[in-house]
């Protein structure tokens, strides 16, 4: 095995190199990460333009596009890093959750490289990647709380210690990004709709009053399908009555409802679990309303808030490399018979306690 892998985990001497691959949804991405923290390359090829005309990701098309571009993207990432494939300490790949056909493309590529070059494989959890994107730009302090908001996930995750994940709340129906995309579609806005709703909401002068889904007292779970239905009801009633819909006011009302629930529950969880930091991650972390409201509440309550830059919030392979480093440090590798796991549990991916030799 590459010498650098043995030194992984030692802050001073960690020159480990991870080639990370991400193909769980509609981005084909490859990245090389040094020492778990330094991005040497992070190539992301988005399929948004292809899926835009269908109003959402078409799984079969996503897989085909991944197949077309994966080899080139990996080559480009390795070349840009200034190293070569044989220098890699490990090959990391998203094992799940995600679209099974899309995941398989990255997994087959990673396994082939791992086998041909005799480099260890690290099957990596996509949400752990979103959380550890923060490690690429900040220093995480434990215990901390992560608010994961993406197109497929809405979760509050407690990290008592490095690499140990405990999901304390999750959505019972739609993910936040999914709700944004569905509301945008009803307003005939392009896919993905999140940024369009965000823009409309920021420009609005009025705000449509919409419900908040708090669920049972003390619950950290979320639900956005009722809110989405309330938005659709406003749209339908306005159109049926032949009235002009104030789309901006509706977008703002929707964004305020989503934001208030997310911010309130996240800060309550921070207090209850004694978290020293709040980490925001996932594609919806780009939302200006959410960022502003969280920043204001965190400042008022003196809770440090970590948010990765936008390019590391949306799907990318650098975040997969950052998470995989947790396993490389502990020499916890994945067998070559590993399978794509569309429903991969985050808690099961936790590292075992770290024992320093
Ligand atoms: O994390 P991500 O890139 O992919 C998944 O793993 O799901 O998240 C994509 C989601 C989409 O639903 C998109 O509409 C949403 O993030 N999004 C936003 C914004 N930018 C992206 N949602 C709200 N406001 C935004 N500014
Ligand atoms: Zn994602």
Ligand closest to 125 (CA) is 2
245: left (phi over 0), alpha (psi -120 to 50) or beta: beta
171 and 281 co-located in one domain? yes
Q: How many domains does the chain have?
A: 2
Instruction: Please report whether residue 91 resides in a domain.
Output: yes
Does residue 92 sit within a domain? yes
Look at residue 356 in the predicted model and tell me its pLDDT.
43
What single string gives the DSSP state of each residue in 147-165?
Answer: EEE-SS-EEEEEESSTT-E
Q: How many angstroms does the Cα of residue 285 sit away from the middle of ligand 1?
A: 8
Q: Are residues 173 and 290 in the same domain?
A: yes
Same domain, 242 and 317: no
C-alpha dist (Å) from residue 172 to 97, 153, 214, 233, 257: 16, 10, 12, 21, 17
Say what the pLDDT of residue 7 is.
Answer: 55
CATH of the domain at 266: 3.30.420.40
User: Residue 334: CB within 6 Å of ligand 1?
Assistant: no
Mean pLDDT of successive 10-residue stretches along the chain, which has 357 residues: 51 89 92 98 83 73 82 95 98 96 96 98 98 97 97 96 97 96 94 94 97 95 96 95 96 98 98 98 94 97 96 95 98 97 96 55
Is residue 72 within 8 Å of residue 65, measured between CB atoms?
A: no
Q: Is the CB of 148 under 6 A from ligand 1?
A: no
Kindly state whether residue 180 falls inside one of the protein's structural domains: yes
Q: Which atom of ligand 1 is nearest to the CA of 181?
A: 14
pLDDT at position 9, please?
A: 58
Q: How far is the CA of 185 from the centre of ligand 2 (A)?
A: 20
Instruction: Give exposure, 264-281, as e/b (b: 16+ Cβ within 10 Å).
Output: ebbbebbeebebebbbbb
> Do residues 167 and 155 lie in contact, with contact meaning Cβ atoms separated by under 8 Å?
yes
| Residue 296 lies inside a defined structural domain of this protein | yes
Same domain, 243 and 283: yes
In this structure, which long-range contacts are made by residues 63-66, counting pairs with CB atoms below 8 Å and at least 24 apart in sequence? Answer: 63/99, 63/101, 63/102, 63/104, 63/105, 65/26, 65/28, 66/23, 66/28, 66/102, 66/105, 66/106
Residues 267 and 207 in one domain: yes
Whether residue 354 is contained in a domain is answered as no
HEC sequence for 91-124: EEEEEECCCHHHHHHHHHHHHHHHHHHCCCEEEE
- Verify that 90 and 30 share a domain, yes or no: yes
Closest ligand, as measured to the CA of 190: 1
Q: Residue 60 belongs to what domain range?
A: 3-132+313-349
Do 127 and 148 meet the contact criterion of CB atoms below 8 Å apart?
yes
Q: Which residues contact 343 (CB under 8 A, 6 or more apart)?
A: 96, 97
The rounded Å distance from CA 194 to ligand 1 centre is 6
Say how many Å lie between the CA of residue 283 and the centre of ligand 1: 4
* pTM score, whole prediction: 0.92
- Is residue 147 a contact partner of residue 159, using CB atoms and an 8 Å limit? no
């Amino acid at each position: 095995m590459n010498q650098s892998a043995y030194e992984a985990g030692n802050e001073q001497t960690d020159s480990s190199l991870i080639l990370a691959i991400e193909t769980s949804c509609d981005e084909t991405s490859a990245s090389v990460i040094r020492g778990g923290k330094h991005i040497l390359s992070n190539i992301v090829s988005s399929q948004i333009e292809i899926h835009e005309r269908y109003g959402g990701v078409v799984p079969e098309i996503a897989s085909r596009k991944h197949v077309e571009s994966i080899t080139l993207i990996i080559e480009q990432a390795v070349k840009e890093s200034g190293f070569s494939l044989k220098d890699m300490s490990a090959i990391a790949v998203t094992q799940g959750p995600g679209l099974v056909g899309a995941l398989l493309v990255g997994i087959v590529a990673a396994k082939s490289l791992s086998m041909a070059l005799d480099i260890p494989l690290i099957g990596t959890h996509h949400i752990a990647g979103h959380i550890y994107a923060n490690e690429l730009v900040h220093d995480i302090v434990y215990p901390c709380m992560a608010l994961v908001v993406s197109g497929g996930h809405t979760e509050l995750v407690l990290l008592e210690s490095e690499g140990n994940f405990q999901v304390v709340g999750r959505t019972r129906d739609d993910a936040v990004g999914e709700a944004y995309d569905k509301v945008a579609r009803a307003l005939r806005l392009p896919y993905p709709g999140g940024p369009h709703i965000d823009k409309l909401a920021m420009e609005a002068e009025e705000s449509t009053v919409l419900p908040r889904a708090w669920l049972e007292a003390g619950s950290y779970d979320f639900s956005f399908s009722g809110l989405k239905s309330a938005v659709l009801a406003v749209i339908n009633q306005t159109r049926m009555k032949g009235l002009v819909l104030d789309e901006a006011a509706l977008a703002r009302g929707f964004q305020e409802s989503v934001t208030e629930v997310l911010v309130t529950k996240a800060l309550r969880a921070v207090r209850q679990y004694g978290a020293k930091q709040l980490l925001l991650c996932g594609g919806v972390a780009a939302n200006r309303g959410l960022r502003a409201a969280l920043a204001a509440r965190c400042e008022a309550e003196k809770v440090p808030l970590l948010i990765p830059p936008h390019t590391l919030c949306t799907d990318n392979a650098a975040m997969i490399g950052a998470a995989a480093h947790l396993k490389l440090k502990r020499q916890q590798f994945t067998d070559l018979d590993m399978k794509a796991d569309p429903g991969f549990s985050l808690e099961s991916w936790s590292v075992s306690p770290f024992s320093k030799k």
